[in-house]
C-alpha cells in the first residue's frame, strides 16, 4: 500500500488495525509495509511490529516484485503462520494459503473506467487470488455477493468484515477551517479522488441548477490526486476542471485536493450535507465518516452504499440530476430534515465501531489459523 493513493482501502485497514491494537489477544502481528507508513500512520508503528520494505513504492511494478521476493522471504524467515493480503491480490510467490481482502469488483461492472493494462492485470490476478485464498474478506455484503457470484467462490470461505470507526470521536475544532478555505456560505462536501465512477460531473450539473435558486451555496471537493495511479483518473480530473469552467462555477466550487484528516473532520462538521453520488462502492467510507461527525448525508442508492446508510440519510439515483438538486435544496431549506438525518446518522454510525470490526477480523484470523485446506 502506497499511503495517500489507494483511498478507502487504506482507511479501511488502518482503522481495523487501530481497533485490533486496543483489543487483548494472544495473536502476534507483524505489519509488512513501505517506508512511508512511518510518517503517514505513526500510531501503527507504536502498536505493532513493523518490517519496512527496502523500496520506495513509487513504481507499481517494483511493489509487485517486492511482494514476490522480499515479502515472501520475510514471511519464511519469520515463520509467519498466516499472511493477510489486504489489497485484493495474492502474489504468485506466497506462504501456505493466505487470506485476502477484496474491496470490490468494479472492473467487472465498469471495465471502461480502467486502462487496458490495469484491466488485463485485474482480470488475470483477482480470480486467481481468490482461488488461492484460505478466506476471502469483503467490507460489505454487496461485495461478498459479487465475489461469490462473479468469481464462483465457495460462500463458506467469504466473510464480511465491515469498515469501523472510532466511537470516541473528539470534538472537532473547526473555527478557522471556513476562513482558511474561503467558505463564506453554506456548503456541500464531496471527498473523492477523480476516478470516473465517483460521478463528479453529475454532481456539478446538479449543483449548477441549485445555484440558480441558492447563489450563496458552495460545493467543496477534496481528495488525493488519483492520477498517480491511473491515467483515466487524470483525464477525468481535467474534465472536472473543464466542467466547472463551462458551468461558470469557478467562484462557488472549492477544489481543495488532499486535506488532513483533522481538516476533513472539521469540514464534515461544518457542511450542510455530504453529497456522495458515486456509481460504484465496495463500502463507501465517507458515508460512515460523515454520519460519525453528525453530517447529514445525500448518497447514491447504488451498490453497497444503501447497506451502509440504511434509513439514516437521503438516497438518490446516482445519475438523476434533478433529484440531486432537489435533495441539496431540501437540506438547505429544511432544518427539521437536516437535523433528523444528523441524529439518525450518529445513531447509525454507532453500529460501526472499529472494536466490533476488529473483533470480526480477529475471529477470521483465528479461523484461518485453524484451517488447513
Residues 183 and 295 placed together within one structural domain of the fold: yes
Q: What is the dihedral of CA 170, 174, 180, 182, to 10 degrees?
A: 130
**Assigned domain for 243 exists:** yes
Both 39 and 152 in one domain: the answer is: yes
Same structural domain, 366 and 229: no
CA distance 297 to 159: 27
Residues 222 and 131 in one domain: no
C-alpha cell read off for 173: 475544532
- Give the confidence band of 260 by pLDDT, cuts at 50, 70, 90: confident
Q: Is the pLDDT of residue 173 over 70?
A: no
Question: Residue 85 falls within a domain, yes or no?
Answer: yes
Provide DSSP, 340-364.
HHHHHHHHHHGGGBHHHHHHHHHHH
pLDDT value at 206 more than 90: yes
Using CA atoms, how far residue 31 sits from 48, 122, 209, in Å, is 7, 24, 48
How confident is the model over 293-352, as pLDDT tens digits?
999 999 999 999 999 999 999 999 999 999 999 999 999 999 999 999 999 999 999 999
Residues 155 and 213 in one domain: no
Statement to judge: residues 183 and 120 lie in one domain:
no
Residue 169 lies in a domain: no
Contacts for 30 with CB less than 8 Å, ≥ 6 apart:
48, 49, 50, 51, 78, 80
- In sign, the C-alpha dihedral spanning 217, 193, 158, 371 is negative
| 113 and 228 inside one domain | no
Average pLDDT over residues 13-31: 93
d(CA 100, CA 87): 8
Query: CATH number, domain at 13?
Result: 3.40.50.2000
Please tell me whether residues 144 and 184 are part of one structural domain: no
138, pLDDT greater than 70 = yes
Q: Does 211 score more than 50 pLDDT? A: yes
Amino acid at each position: 500500500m502506497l499511503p495517500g493513493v489507494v483511498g478507502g482501502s487504506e482507511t479501511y485497514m488502518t482503522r481495523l488495525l487501530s481497533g485490533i491494537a486496543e483489543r487483548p489477544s494472544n495473536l502476534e502481528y507483524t505489519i509488512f509495509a513501505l517506508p512511508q507508513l512511518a510518517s503517514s500512520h505513526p500510531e501503527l508503528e507504536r502498536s505493532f511490529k513493523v518490517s519496512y520494505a527496502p523500496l520506495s513504492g513509487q513504481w507499481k511494478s517494483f511493489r509487485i516484485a517486492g511482494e514476490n521476493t522480499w515479502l515472501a522471504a520475510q514471511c519464511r524467515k519469520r515463520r509467519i503462520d498466516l499472511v493477510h493480503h489486504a489489497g485484493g491480490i495474492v502474489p504468485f510467490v506466497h506462504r501456505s494459503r493466505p487470506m485476502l481482502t477484496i474491496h470490490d469488483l468494479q472492473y467487472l461492472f465498469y471495465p471502461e473506467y480502467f486502462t487496458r493494462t490495469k484491466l488485463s492485470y485485474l482480470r488475470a490476478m483477482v480470480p486467481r487470488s481468490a482461488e488461492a485464498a484460505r478466506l476471502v474478506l469483503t467490507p460489505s455484503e454487496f461485495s461478498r455477493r459479487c465475489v461469490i457470484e462473479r468469481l464462483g467462490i465457495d460462500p463458506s470461505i467469504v466473510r464480511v468484515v465491515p469498515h469501523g470507526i472510532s466511537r470516541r470521536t473528539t470534538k472537532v475544532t473547526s473555527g478557522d477551517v471556513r476562513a482558511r478555505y474561503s467558505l463564506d456560505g453554506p456548503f456541500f462536501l464531496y471527498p473523492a479522488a477523480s476516478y470516473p465512477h465517483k460521478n463528479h460531473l453529475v454532481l456539478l450539473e446538479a449543483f449548477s441548477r441549485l445555484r440558480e435558486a441558492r447563489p450563496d451555496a458552495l460545493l467543496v471537493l477534496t481528495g488525493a490526486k488519483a492520477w498517480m495511479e491511473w491515467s483515466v483518473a487524470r483525464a477525468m480530473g481535467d474534465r472536472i476542471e473543464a466542467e466547472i469552467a463551462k458551468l461558470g462555477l469557478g467562484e462557488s466550487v472549492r477544489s481543495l485536493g488532499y486535506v488532513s484528516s483533522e481538516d476533513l473532520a472539521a469540514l464534515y462538521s461544518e457542511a450542510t450535507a455530504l453529497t456522495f453520488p458515486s456509481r460504484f462502492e465496495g463500502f463507501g467510507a465517507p458515508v460512515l465518516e460523515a454520519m460519525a461527525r453528525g453530517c447529514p448525508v445525500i448518497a447514491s442508492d447504488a451498490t453497497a452504499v444503501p447497506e451502509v446508510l440504511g434509513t439514516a440519510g437521503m438516497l438518490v439515483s446516482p445519475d438523476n440530476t434533478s433529484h440531486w438538486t432537489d435533495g441539496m435544496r431540501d437540506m438547505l431549506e429544511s432544518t427539521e430534515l437536516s437535523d433528523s438525518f444528523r441524529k439518525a446518522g450518529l445513531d447509525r454510525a454507532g453500529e460501526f465501531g472499529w472494536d466490533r470490526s476488529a473483533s470480526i477480523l480477529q475471529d477470521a484470523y483465528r479461523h484461518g489459523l485453524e484451517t488447513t485446506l
